[in-house]
């Protein structure tokens, strides 16, 4: 199942983007520069739609949902570890909000409303 999801993630992003498995069922996606947050959110929505497609399991079908945390450098400044922590925290917020969704790091939300 993880191989199928990994391939779907790779298919959902652009060629210069990078998909890597962190461990367990967690993946990191590094997007090459995006024009704006709208483009980032469009890519996130496309990824979630791609993941949600049924998976053939013999004669049955399985369904997978995704939860994504998003942080953007340099808007969310910090080192690599801090960026991963912010994305991880946002991902857990997405899971708490009902799964199959994405949440943008609070630091970015604070910047957007300021």
66-105 pLDDT, tens per residue?
999 999 887 787 789 999 999 999 999 999 999 899 999 9
Q: What is the pLDDT of residues 41-75, one digit of tens each?
A: 999 999 999 999 999 989 999 999 999 999 988 77
Question: Active site residue: 25, 38, 76, 112, which one?
Answer: 25
Alpha carbon distance 59, 76 (integer Å): 45
Residue 96: both structure tokens together: 């708490």
What was the pLDDT predicted at 112? 41
22: pLDDT strictly greater than 80: yes
What was the pLDDT predicted at 72? 87
**CATH number of domain containing 53:** 3.30.70.270
For the entire predicted model, the pTM comes to: 0.83
Our count of domains for the chain comes to 1
- Catalytic residue flag (residue 38): no
* Exposure letters 24-34 (e unless 16+ CB within 10 A, then b): eeebebebeee
* Cα radius of gyration rounded to whole Å, the chain: 14
Q: Which of 59, 63, 77, 71 is nearest to 109 (CA)?
A: 71
Range of the domain at 47: 2-113
109: pLDDT strictly greater than 80: no
């Amino acid at each position: 199942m993880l191989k199928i999801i990994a391939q779907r993630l790779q298919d959902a992003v652009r060629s210069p983007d990078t998909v890597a498995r962190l461990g367990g069922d967690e993946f990191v996606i590094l997007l090459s520069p995006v024009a704006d947050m709208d483009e980032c959110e469009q890519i996130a929505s496309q990824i979630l739609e791609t993941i949600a497609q049924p998976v053939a399991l013999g004669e049955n079908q399985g369904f997978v949902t995704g939860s994504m945390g998003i942080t953007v450098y340099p808007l969310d400044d910090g080192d690599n570890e801090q960026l991963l922590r912010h994305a991880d925290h946002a991902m857990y917020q997405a899971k708490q909000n009902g799964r199959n969704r994405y949440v943008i790091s609070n630091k970015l939300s604070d910047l957007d409303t300021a």
